[in-house]
Structures are given as C-alpha cells and as structure tokens.
A and B are shown apart, each in its own frame.
Chain A
Amino acid sequence: MAVVTAVETRPRRNVELVLLVVSLGIAIGAYVLVGIAAEGQVQANWMWVGGGLAVLVLGVHAVLRVVAPYADPVILPITTAINGLGLVVIHRLDLAEETSLATRQLLWTAIGVGAAVAVLWLVRDHRILARYTWTAALLGFALLLLPLLPFIGRNIRGARIWIGLGPLSFQPGEIAKILLALFFAGYLVTARDSLALVGRRFLGLQLPRARDLGPILVAWVLSLGVLVFERDLGTSLLFFGLFVAVLYVATERTSWIVIGMGLFVAGAVLAWRIFSHVQRRVDIWLHPFEPGTFENAFQVVQGLYGMASGGLLGTGLGEGRPDIIPFAESDFIFTAIGEELGLTGIFALLLLYLILVERGLRTAIGARDGFGKLLAAGLSFTIALQCFVVAGGVTRVIPLTGLVMPFLAYGGSSLLSNWIVVAILLRISDAARRPAPAEVTG
C-alpha cells in the first residue's frame, strides 16, 4: 500500500448543509417549473414532495452529524440532486401519462433513506462487515440467480432479472451487487497476496498460476450464465466488471484486467454466435433503423429521436414529448433528460455521477484498511458501470440492457440498494477522513 498524504481533518458538515440546500433548491425549483410548463400552474403537491425530500435528506445530514461527522460532504448533496431530478422527471411523465409514479418514487426514496440511516446507525465501523464475507457470498449469488427460479422469476422486457410475488416485483440483482461487492472485498483482501505475487512473467505481464485462475473463472461462468439465462448484458457486465475491478485493485496486476476483459469479450461473442436473443439485441444496437429490426428497436429509436429533438439546450422541462418513449420513467429516463434539458443537462448529470464516483474512489484511497479500500472501490465502480451500461445503451455505445440509472430512474429495488451503497460509502469515508486516533499507551 502506498503512503497516504495527510487528509484534511475538518468534518465539513456545514459545507454539506450548504450544498444540500443548493441541491434541494434545484430539485424543488425544477419540480415547480414542470407543473407550470406542462399544466400552466404550480402543482398543488409541490410542498409535500419538496418538503418530503428535504426532510429525508436533512434527516440523513443530521444523522451524519452524530454518527459519521467526518463523512465526505459531497456524496449526500450529489445523491440528493440526482434523486430529486429523478423525482422531477418522473413527475413530469406523470403529468403527461396521468400516472402517479412520483409519489411512489418518493415513498421508495423514504425507504431507501431509512435503510441508509439504519446502516449508518448500526454499522459504526465498516470493518465489522468483513465478518460476513461468506454469508454475503452465499446470499449474493442466491439473489443473483433467484430470477431463474420458476414461478417467482419474471421476464420483463426480455430480461429475466426480476422476481415477483403477486403485484410486487423486485430486482434482486440490485441488492446482490452490494453483497457481492462485500464478498469480493472480504475475499480478495485475504487472497490478494497469493493472487498477486506468484506466477510467471510473460510479455511484461505477471501471469497468475493456473490454480489461482479458479475464482475469476467461476465469476466468468456466472456472469455468462447471467447473460445467457437472465438475458441481460448489463447485469452480466456489472458483476464481472465489479469483480475484475476489485481484483485489479487488490492485486495491483494489470494481467487480471487483460485476462478478465479477454474472457468477457470471448464469452460475449460466443453467446452472440449461439443465442438468437443475444443476436436480436445486437441487431437492435447496430442497425436500429433497418427495416428488419425497426419494430424491435422502437424504444431505442424513440429515445434517440427524443435526445435529438432536445439538442444542445433542450426543449425545457415539461415542453418536450418524452412520454412517447416506452418506459421513459425507468429504462429511458436518461433520454427524457436529454430531450428536455438538452445536451447541457446531460453533461451536468453525467458530471454529477462522475464526481460521485470519484468521491467514492477518493474515499477508497483515503481508507486505512484494505477491506475498506476494496469495498469503497467496488461500490463506487458499480455506480460508474451502471451509468455506463444504461447511458451507453441508450446512446448506442453498447447494446441496450435492463439496468437503470442509479437514484434517477423509477424503481424501488434500485433506489433502496443505491441508498445503502451511499450509506456504506459515507461510513467508510468517515473512517477515512477521521483524524488518526491518538496512540493509546499504558
């Protein structure tokens, strides 16, 4: 481990409060504007929604003052801004489609925030999570594979990454990603030495021993299983990418990245050659406008049209037609923002995510223990990967997948799990930024 330069030691909670007020101002202001633009009047419930969001995040802020005073001051305001913007866009689509998803999203925000507060309150030291490494592994893989079970597994929009019980549906992969990040961190912090140090050098790469390839091969097979049986490239990419990233950070060896990416590309190409549903996804990705794929590519094409109509500055909130795009409130909320807030809004949004992820990675760098580093890095990287997979999917960098933008998109599983991610990052950052305890002597 490299030596860490001295980290600032002030708690910075007041900075967080100021930033929070700015974030809330943006979100609530936008919420009011949507009503004026779309319906010609301020929506009556703006105080409830705005006030609700404010109470929730100021509650987290208050809890941080007590249980994690040195936590990173930027993470919560950015999360608030993105979560608030999501509420605004969902509310905007509600107005167009006469649904009431925004209030449900606010409810899920409350549940997510509650979970975050619980994590902050109960887990006073993130290192105790390392105790649950293998429990997390078991639960994580179980959740990941749960949608494959008959009866409760649900096929939604071509991807089998949902479970359902009656009217309730849930994406277990969202929770699984936390558990698996925990497992990878706990496992690799102990296994890193053997994975890192033994092996032959070849072409400048330190190759691992054959028997050390075991874990990555298991992860690879699992991710391919997700790709083929759950039919979702995004989920598959998320888990494999998470594993390779944490492995790389743990071992500091580039060879793992090369091997991992090679394996994934080879597996993906193989799946494309063999499975027709993968081929269809790829066709939609590469040729959305061609007659043969046009019907299937409707959503992608409408998303592109939406973003194109937004142009540089956007149509303005409430002035576009994002409701034309199927599932604009979840899978395609990114294009709704592109349409109404323009490329400018998209850049602002992507930079918010980038800052959030980089603050998480900064936390990892500052963390004093290997487990904390790996956990923070893994969780931060899942946010980055998820953004990439979703935004890359709608802008045709990669094939479209069934994941959603963290905090932004409509959906309870995603909100709940990402607020827990944020809570863990805040917890680790508190430990990382806290002044080193004085030596206790005697």
Chain B
Amino acid sequence: MNAPLRRLAVVVALLFASLLISSTYVQYVSAPSLNARTDNRRTQFKEFGRDRGPILVDGRPIAQSVEVDDPYTYQRKYTSAQMYSAVTGFYSIVYKPTGMEGATNDLLNGTADQLFYRRLSDLFTGREPQGASVELTIDPKVQKAAWDALGNQKGAVVALDPKTGAILAMVSKPGYDPNALAGHDVAKVTKAWNGLLDDPDRPLDNRAIAGRLYPPGSVFKVVTAAAALSSGNYTPDTLVDGPASLDLPQTSASLPNDFAGACGPNNKVSLLDALRISCNTAFGSIGLDIGDDAIRAQAEKFGFGKALDVPLTVTPSIFPPDPNPPQTAQSAIGQFDVRVSPLQIAMVSAGVANGGVVMRPQLVKDVLSANGVDVIQRPQPERFSDAVSGQVAADLTRMMVAVVDNGTGKRAQIPGVRVAGKTGTAQQGEGRPPNAWFTAFAPADDPKVAIAVVVEDGGALGDAASGGRVAAPIAKQVIEAVLNR
C-alpha cells in the first residue's frame, strides 16, 4: 500500500500547490484591480479611516475628525457649520469633497507631496499617514459679523485684507449643514444631498466666489472710473456729460438715470460727483468715449477673466468680449453682459485701497504637520496685478470717500473712520427686485479691510431696495468688526 500512499502524498502536494497559486492570484495578480473597484469599502475605509487633519480658524477647529466606533473609524465634525459651509465644504463618503475639504484634500489626508518625508518614516513605522492641519486666514469675528449682518437674506460677503490678500470673511447665504453630508449612513447622506440640490435657494453654491455670477450694476463704475483716470484724459474734476437720459447711438433706446433729472447743472457733472451720486448717464458717456477695449483692459487688470485659486477655485468674472456702442455704454455701468463674483468686486476695492496693487486673495494662513509644530506651507503675500497707478488709486479713493461721506453710500458711515465705498443696484429684468451691492474699504488713509456685499433680490426691502439702503449697512458692520479687533 505504500506506492499509492506516496502518490497520494503527491496529490495532496498538488492540492496545496493549487491553493498557493489561487492565493497568489487573489493577493498579488488581481489585487490592484480588486483594490480599485468602486464598491470596495475597504479602499474607502482606508481613505476615510485616516486621521484627517482639522481646518482651523484662529486656532480653533471648524472641521475636525473625531474617532468613532464604526467601520470608518473617524467622523468629520463641523462647528458653526452653516456659517462656514461656504469655506469648509464637506467631506462625504458618498460624494467628492468640496470647499477647502476638496481644495486641500491631499494635505488634510496626509498624502500631499509636501508631506513626503513624513510619510517615508510612516512607511517604516507602519503608521497610517496623519493629515496636516490647515489654518485659514478667516477672522471668526469678521465672519460672524458678516453672517449675522446678512440676516436671513440671500447673498454673499467677502472681506479682504487689501495689503496681504488674506480673506478675512467669506459668507454665502443660505448656508447648509455639512454635518448632514458627512454622515456614514449612505441613505441619509443621499437624502440630505438631494434635498440641498432641489432647494431653489441653492444652498450648495458658494455665492462669494463660485455661484452664478452676478451683474454688478453700479459698483462696476469704479472700474470704469479707473479706466477713465488711467487713460490720462480724465481727472476727478473733469466735467462729463450727465443728462437725465443718454441717447444711445445706433438705436432708439436710451440710458436713464436711476433718479429723475440730470446729474448736474447744464447736464454736466464732474467725474467725482458722477461716482458720488452714481450717475448712469455720465458713466455711459465715459464708456462711449474711452471704448470697450479700455474698460475690458482695466477690468482684466483687476482680475476679470483670470483663473484664480485661493485655493478654492474662483469663477472668473466676465466683461463682454465684443459689445457694440450701446452695449458698451450699458456695460460701463455694470449692466448688459458684465458678470462678477463678489470676491472680484472686493479685489477691485482692495486694489484701490492698496495703492493700485491687487494682492492675490488667499484663504490659507498656514499648514502645520500633524504634530502641530512643523510648518509645511505658509503662503506669503503675493502681488496679483498692478491694476492702477498710485495716483489713480488716490483719486479713486477720494471719489469713493465722497460716495460714503455725501453720496449714495451714507449708510456705511462710521464715526471717526473715513470709509471709501460704492453702491450698486443691479437690475435683473422685469418683475424681479434688483440685487443690492456695496463695496468699500476702510480706513481710507490706512486700509485694513476691503469688502464686497451682495444681497439678492433686494433682500428684505424687495423692489424698494438699493445698494445704499440694503448692502451698505451690512458692509458697515463688517468693517466695524475688523476695526474693533
């Protein structure tokens, strides 16, 4: 019986050999494709099971991962969630991360190249990579002031430090609760997501930088004024045509003022007064005079049409590419096809405030390694563009101060502080209340903050809204929050 026993031993060896081969096939040959399958929860758990770094504002986390007793190990938690939703975005097991969660994902989850040598040591110690923490430039007091000032109106507020480009506040209303999307129950998350998608108020939009762009209305007159002054043919005191209604060439249409009557005696008005009282006809005339190319060039110097990541991706603002003269006149007062993000308007004010130099807007103050000691990234203030000369900036400042001192922006006055600003009341067509705008910087002689406010559909005032009545008081509260720091 020993011969068959020996053969049986060979059969057994072959059985085990087949197991060695099948195991090798599963664990080595087909492992990459198995790991890459989308329904493989293990790959998800690996990504979501990492100790993801927090997003900090003034040293306190607004998004952080806390250990939980479920297969994902960590749960993302957001504090002051609605207020910061436009900034943080959300981190979901179902959908792609958005906001800073998405823009700095590889830093937060610890896989960024900058963290390479730390990961190298993790490789040897067998530790899972720990995410870096991302500290934002947001000032919580300013953010809160902007959030509260908007109340339950739809709109956005962006506040910048004009000297550094640091974004001090970024608010978009309505916000949403990212915690509802960060849950680990797929069905609940999907339901919350669909609810937000179906909401006609579009809470998932970050209106400050990447919602649907807005027509800027009269706040764009700052850009037109900058183009006029930069042309060398205008000073703040240059008299321009400011009739009650401007006849537009090539058509029977005309461009009226927002108020009854002409902008000055003999249908003439100085450039300074035209901005102060927001004279449509004067800026329409200027537009016809200097032409669309000059305005477009000036707009682009402020950042229109340029890709920008702060590191959230900003939708580029638009000045129409080829307007005819009537359209140019409309565009010069921020109507027709001009479309802007609130951040772009804040950048215009910031450029004027900073002597003509626009600093690159930045949301990241620094990135620290998981141990909180090593600085991985600390973005330095960076010149974005030279929008206007120092002289033009000084002229524009004088004009914008007049707007607040004695013009359409009086409601932004702050005792003891010179505030420079510009209102905007952007028509949206028949039947819809206008969007109310205000942009400003202060103090005018040593600017600490530049701001843009937009309130959709007239806000609480509806059809009776104007930039001065609705948006300027909001800007005022935010500026006060900055100055009272």
In chain B, positions 1-34 with a C-beta closer than 8 Å to chain A are: 1-6, 8-9, 12-13, 15-16, 18-20, 22-28, 30-31, 34
Question: Does any Cβ of A come within 8 Å of B35's Cβ?
Answer: yes
State whether A384 touches B16 (Cβ < 8 A).
yes
Residue A357 CB within 8 A of the other chain: yes
Residues of chain A from 387 to 436 with CB closer than 8 A to chain B in the complex: 387-388, 391-392, 395-397
Q: Which of B1, B35, B71, B126 has its CB near the most chain A CB atoms (within 10 A)?
A: B1
Q: Flag whether A250 is at the interface (Cβ < 8 A).
A: yes
B27 touches A342 (CB 8 A): yes
Per the bound structure, the CA–CA distance linking A365 and B261 in Å amounts to 118
Q: Is the CB of B12 within 8 A of A395?
A: no
Q: Which residues of A contact B126 (CB under 8 A)?
A: 316, 319
Q: Which residues of chain A in 367-384 are interfacial with respect to chain B, using CB atoms and an 8 Å cutoff?
A: 370, 373-374, 377, 380-381, 384
| A388 with B18: CB separation less than 8 A | yes
CB distance from A243 to the nearest CB of B (A): 13
Interface-centre pick from B2, B23, B46 (highest chain A CB count, 10 A): B23
Contacts of B8 in A (CB 8 A): 245, 248-249, 361, 377, 381
Q: Please, what's the 1-or-0 string for A303-338, where 1 marks a CB less than 8 Å from any CB in chain B?
A: 011111111100010010101100000000000001
* Shortest distance from the beta carbon of B6 to any chain A beta carbon, whole Å: 7
Cross-interface CB contact of B19 among A323, A350, A357, cutoff 8 Å: A350
- Across-interface contacts of A289 in B (CB, < 8 A): 37
Contact of B34 among A250, A305, A323, A381 (CB under 8 A): A305
Q: Which of B5, B6, B22, B27 has the most CB of A within 10 A?
A: B27
C-alpha spacing A362/B13, complex, angstroms: 13
How far is A305 from B2 in the complex, measured between Cα atoms in Å? 43
Contact of A392 among B5, B19, B39, B45 (CB under 8 A): B19
Answer whether residue A354 sits at the interface, using C-beta atoms and an 8 A cutoff: yes
Structural contact, B40 and A249, CB atoms closer than 8 A: no
Chain B residues within an 8 Å CB radius of A323: 71
The answer on a CB contact under 8 Å between B42 and A374 is no
B41 within 8 A of A: yes
On whether the beta carbons of A249 and B5 are closer than 8 Å, the reply is: yes
Minimum distance in angstroms from B446 CB to a CB of chain A:
54
Query: Is A364 close to B, CB under 8 A?
Result: yes
Taking the closest CB of chain B, its distance from the CB of A285, in whole angstroms, is 12
Whether A311 contacts B27 by the Cβ 8 Å rule is yes
**Closest chain B residue to A323, Cβ basis:** B71
When the two chains form their complex, are residues A309 and B42 in contact, meaning their CB atoms are under 8 A apart? yes
- Residues of chain B within 8 A (CB-CB) of A361 are 5, 8-9, 12
Which B residue sits closest to A98, measured CB to CB? B69
- Which chain B residues numbered 33 to 90 have a C-beta less than 8 Å away from chain A? 34-35, 37, 39-43, 45-46, 71
Known contacts A311-B31, A343-B28, A353-B16; A338 and B4 CB within 8 A of each other = no
Q: A304-B34, A308-B35, A350-B19 are in contact. Are A338 and B42 (CB under 8 A)?
A: no
Expressed in whole angstroms, the Cα–Cα distance for A312 and B24 within the complex equals 8
Taking CB atoms, residues of chain B closer than 8 Å to A338 are 23, 26-27
- A94 at the B interface (CB under 8 A): no
Q: Does A346 contact B (CB under 8 A)?
A: yes
Q: B35–A309 contact, CB under 8 A?
A: yes
A252 touches B3 (CB 8 A): yes
Specify the chain A residue showing the minimal Cβ separation from B127.
A319
Assembled-state Cα–Cα distance A384/B10 (Å): 12
Tell me the number of A-to-B contacts counted with CB atoms below 8 Å: 133
Q: What separation, in Å, do the CA atoms of A381 and B18 have in the docked complex?
A: 16
Nearest chain A residue, comparing its CB with the CB of B23: A346
Nearest-CB residue, chain A, relative to B49: A321
A98 to B187, CA, bound (A): 26
CA A350 – CA B4 in complex, angstroms? 23
Give complex CA distance A181, B5 in Å: 15
Interface string of B228-257 (1 = CB under 8 A from A): 000000000000000000000000000000
Given known contacts A312-B27, A347-B23, A324 and B41 CB-to-CB distance under 8 angstroms: yes
Interface residues on B, range: 35 or more
Residue of B nearest to A353 (CB): B16
CA distance A397 to B26 in the complex (A): 11
Interface centre among B6, B20, B43 (most CB of A within 10 A): B20
Distance, CA A364 to CA B4, complexed state (A): 11
B352 CB to nearest chain A CB (Å): 56
Q: Give per-residue flags for A140-182: 1 if the beta carbon is below 8 A from chain B beta carbons, else 0.
A: 0000000000000000000000000000000000000000000
Nearest CB in chain B: distance from A296 CB, A: 14
Task: Write out the residue numbers on chain B whose beta carbons fall within 8 Å of the beta carbon of A365.
Answer: 2, 5-6
Please name all residues of chain B whose beta carbon is closer than 8 Å to the beta carbon of A319 when the two chains form the complex: 126
Cα separation A307 to B8 with both chains bound (whole Å): 30
The reply to whether B9 and A4 contact each other, CB–CB distance below 8 Å, is: no
Q: Is the interface of A mostly helix, strand, loop or mixed?
A: helix
Q: Judge if A210 is at the interface, Cβ distance under 8 Å.
A: no
For B31, list chain A residues within 8 Å (CB): 307-309, 311
A125 within 8 A of B: no
Q: How far, in Å, is A103 (CB) from chain B's closest CB? A: 22
CA distance A211 to B398 in the complex (A): 117
| A319-B126, A343-B24, A395-B23 known; A1-B2 Cβ under 8 A | yes
Q: Chain B contacts of A283 at CB under 8 A?
A: none
Q: With A308-B30, A373-B1, A381-B12 known to touch, is A392 a contact of B18 (CB < 8 Å)?
A: yes
- Contact (Cβ within 8 A) B45 A321: yes
* Complex CA distance for A346 and B9, rounded to whole angstroms: 21
How far is it, in angstroms, between the C-alpha of A346 and the C-alpha of B26 when the chains are bound?
11
Verify if A2 is at the interface (C-beta below 8 Å from B).
yes
Kindly supply a per-residue 1/0 record for chain A positions 60-103, scoring 1 wherever the CB is within 8 Å of any chain B CB and 0 otherwise.
00000000000000000000000000000000000000000000
Contacts of B13 in A (CB 8 A): 354, 358
CB-CB nearest in chain A for B13: A354
B429 to chain A, nearest CB (A): 49
C-alpha gap A350/B23 in the complex (Å): 10
Structural contact, A358 and B9, CB atoms closer than 8 A: yes
Q: Report the minimal beta-carbon distance from A234 to chain B, rounded to whole angstroms.
A: 14
Provide the residues of chain A in CB contact with B5, threshold 8 Å.
249, 361, 364-365, 373, 377
Which residue in chain A gives the minimum CB-CB distance to B16? A354
- Name A250's contact: one of B1, B16, B30, B46 (CB within 8 Å): B1
Q: Least Cβ distance of B72 to chain A in Å?
A: 10
In the bound complex, residues from chain A placing their C-beta under 8 Å from that of B45 are: 321, 324
Q: Are B26 and A350 in contact (CB under 8 A)?
A: no
Q: How far apart sit A308 and B30, CA to CA, in the bound complex (Å)?
A: 7
Q: Are B18 and A397 in contact (CB under 8 A)?
A: yes
In the assembled complex, the Cα of A338 lies from the Cα of B24 at a distance in Å of: 10
Q: When chains A and B are docked, how far (Å) is the Cα of A316 from the Cα of B24? A: 18
In the bound complex, what is the Cα–Cα distance between A170 and B27 (angstroms)?
33
Bound complex: CA of A181 vs CA of B41, how far in Å?
A: 43
Collect the chain B residues with CB atoms within 8 Å of residue A306's CB.
42
Separation of A361 and B9 alpha carbons in the complex (Å):
7
| A350 partner, pick from B2, B3, B20, B40, beta carbons under 8 A | B20
Give CA–CA (A249, B9) in the complex, Å. 11
> For residue A346, which residues in chain B have a CB less than 8 angstroms away from its CB?
23, 27
Residues of B within 8 A of A305 (CB): 34-35, 37, 40-42
Cα-based distance from A106 to B333 in the complex (angstroms): 84
How far apart sit A135 and B25, CA to CA, in the bound complex (Å)?
45
Distance between A413 CB and nearest chain B CB, rounded to angstroms: 23
CA distance A384 to B5 in the complex (A): 14
Docked Cα-Cα span, A342 to B126, in Å, equals 14
CA of A370 to CA of B35, assembled, Å: 51
The residues of A that contact B25 with a CB separation of less than 8 Å are 395
Minimum CB–CB distance from A363 to chain B (whole Å) comes to: 10
A310: chain B residues at CB < 8 Å are 27
Q: Assess whether B12 is in contact with A358, with CB atoms less than 8 Å apart.
A: yes
A225, chain B: closest CB distance, angstroms:
25
- How near does chain A come to B286, taking the closest CB pair, in angstroms? 65
Q: List 20 A-B contacts (CB under 8 A).
A: A249-B8, A252-B1, A289-B37, A305-B40, A307-B27, A308-B27, A308-B34, A308-B35, A311-B27, A311-B28, A312-B28, A362-B9, A370-B1, A373-B5, A384-B15, A385-B15, A387-B15, A387-B16, A395-B19, A395-B26
Given contacts A307-B26, A309-B46, A387-B15, 8 further A-B contacts (CB under 8 A): A2-B1, A250-B1, A301-B39, A321-B42, A343-B27, A388-B16, A392-B18, A397-B22
